[in-house]
Structure 1
Amino acid sequence: MRRFLFEGADLRGESTRVDGALAAILQNHQYAPGVRDLLGEFLAAAVLLATTLKFQGRLTLQARSSGQVPLIMAECTSDLAVRAIARGAQEATASGFEELLSEGQLAITVEPERGSRYQGIVPLQGESLAASLDAYFEQSEQLHTRVWLACDGSRAAGLLLQQLPSQLTPDPLAREAQWAHACTLAATVSREELLALEPAELLYRLYHEDPVRLFDAQPVRFSCSCSRERSRQALTTLGEAEIRDILREQGSVTMDCEFCNQQYIFEAQELLPGQIDPLH
């Protein structure tokens, strides 16, 4: 991920390309090409949106639908650790956004390490995730934000533009002109260019006549937040009676993380400590 600023204008941007982290996620699941590409776009979008966080925490981008993909989500922390998954999409055959996520809702959830959780939910709109995100930001009271996304199955990429609070350009008409100029040029980028070009080359291709400051690259990495303790805590929600039934039938309780396929096996004494005979 690389951040950039427009010198002399209240505009910022982010450019990301995700390949190694995407490969690590896809090796754990067998997705159809359409689902795989959609998951890559969700992943790139989560990275771009997480860069807007002003605190330590995580951002989750999730969609539920009546289409061939009932649920899809991507998560990115403030230090660019990512994970993603599509659930219930084993039979998906479509490649189009509207078929995969028909009658869907998009939720953006922000969870700071300290502070209150926030979630915004809007209907999925348009013919792409990028169009739905653009509509989300248009409906919110936030500053102008536009997103461009692409994925070819082995690499995901994205570009974000965002208007900043008025500092350098106080005149509203001038601010709108700057925003329109930046978006018009960004809209000329092709899917192939977004996926193939390095951020520096992409920005030169788009804005070689504008003074743009490009910051150092930050790595995006796959990391799952699952743990043995978190899995054990999740099991406690089943209740003691159900845990006992599983232990009697299987001798232990197994939990698999659907994000990374890590398996956690719990014996009776770990789930029902201090009991002489946990199975009775």
Structure 2
Amino acid sequence: MSDQTQRFLFDDNDVRGETATLAESYQHVLAKHAYPEPVAQLLGELLAAAALLVGTLKFDGLLSLQARSEGPVPLLMVECSSDREVRGIARYHAEQIAPDATLRELMPEGMLAITVDPAKGQRYQGIVGLEGVDLAACLSEYFAASEQLPTRFWLAADSRRACGLLLQQLPADRIHDPEEREASWQHLRTLADTLSAEELLGLDTETVLHRLYHEEPLRLFEAQPIRFRCSCSRERSANALVSLGQHDAEQLLQEQGGTITVDCQFCNERYVFDAADIGQLFAGGGIQPASDTRH
């Protein structure tokens, strides 16, 4: 399985972990746009981070990571559902991007919003500044500064694969002494720090965990598949037109020469609506299926 997340749990420590590997789903995201290499890598790291975070949450809904800046990359956005369906997009100014550009150069003074939108319950959002040396450091610092469980990230992407490793300290159960808990947490983090980007991208989960923790008893759980899926549809596009109101929709139809085109920025799918479609929408007749010449 090339696209998956996989959870593991240390038997003698109050720490759990998660790995994420995205290959085919990552390629689907990159295939929609001709991203410069540094942008493709950063987008891959964000995809891996979203997959890791979803693995730590028990919810039915959508997780989104949205980074904004005034720099060469004004927008990065990734969504991952609780079903592990991912999509992502970046906005960039290619002429301002050096081949070896860093996060700080791509998104100076950037901010990252982490939003959990459950199907039922309250929406949650946290904000972190993109001030670390890389995305993994920024996310790790966010959890260190928040009241949530201490969490560390390791991320890598190379335009072929996007991979990640996460460690998260759990509430005291096996170890209750505060100093012993901290020493154990630091020990496991220090071992993970020895993992290179090449190893993270090139080795399977079992090999990575053996390489890092062969002296630590742990349990590896069943892998969960990840896939690319865009949530756009002709019906959702039609609903967006209905929300404009009939007068504005008809005016837009006239301005665009008799057809309204709705483009999905994530997957480049295009939905076209003509005067008959608009009339039927506001007559309460719903939407017509796309014809052979309309999508």
Using the size of structure 1 for normalisation, the TM-score is: 0.94
How far apart in 2 are the matches of 1:198 and 1:28? 27
2:214 aligned with 1:208 = yes
How far apart in 1 are the matches of 2:61 and 2:250? 36
How far apart in 2 are the matches of 1:6 and 1:180? 14
Aligned to 2:263: 256
Amino acid at match of 1:172: P
Q: How much does 1:17 deviate?
A: 1.2
Query: Retained in 2: the 8 A contact 1:28–1:260?
Result: yes
How far apart in 2 are the matches of 1:213 and 1:92? 46
How far apart in 1 are the matches of 2:95 and 2:214? 45
| Structure 1 counterpart of 2:230, from 224, 248, 264 | 224
1:97-155 CA distance string (max 9 Å, x none)? 11111111110000111111111112111111011101111111011100000011111
Query: Retained in 2: the 8 A contact 1:35–1:89?
Result: no
How far apart in 2 are the matches of 1:109 and 1:256? 24
Query: Retained in 1: the 8 A contact 2:262–2:271?
Result: yes
Amino acid at match of 2:64: T
How far apart in 2 are the matches of 1:28 and 1:91? 20
Deviates further, 113-122 or 195-204: 113-122
How far apart in 1 are the matches of 2:242 and 2:72? 32
Q: How much does 1:242 deviate?
A: 3.3
Identity, % of aligned positions: 55
Query: Retained in 2: the 8 A contact 1:36–1:153?
Result: yes
Query: Retained in 2: the 8 A contact 1:32–1:92?
Result: no
Q: How many pairs are equivalent?
A: 275
Using the size of structure 2 for normalisation, the TM-score is: 0.89
2:29 aligned with 1:25 = yes
2:64 aligned with 1:60 = yes
Q: How much does 1:69 deviate?
A: 0.5
Query: Retained in 1: the 8 A contact 2:128–2:139?
Result: no
How far apart in 2 are the matches of 1:172 and 1:58? 35
Amino acid at match of 1:253: I
Q: How much does 1:268 deviate?
A: 2.4
How far apart in 1 are the matches of 2:189 and 2:225? 26
Amino acid at match of 2:191: L
Q: What's the C-alpha RMSD, in Å, of the aligned pairs?
A: 1.5
Q: How much does 1:243 deviate?
A: 2.1
2:42 aligned with 1:42 = no
Aligned to 1:100: 106
**CA separation of 1:145/1:91 partners in 2, compared to 1, >3 Å: closer, same or farther?**
same
Amino acid at match of 1:268: A
Q: Which consecutive residues of structure 2, in runs of 5 or more, have no partner in the other structure? A: 285-295
How far apart in 2 are the matches of 1:106 and 1:73? 9
Q: Which consecutive residues of structure 1, in runs of 5 or more, have no partner in the other structure? A: 276-280
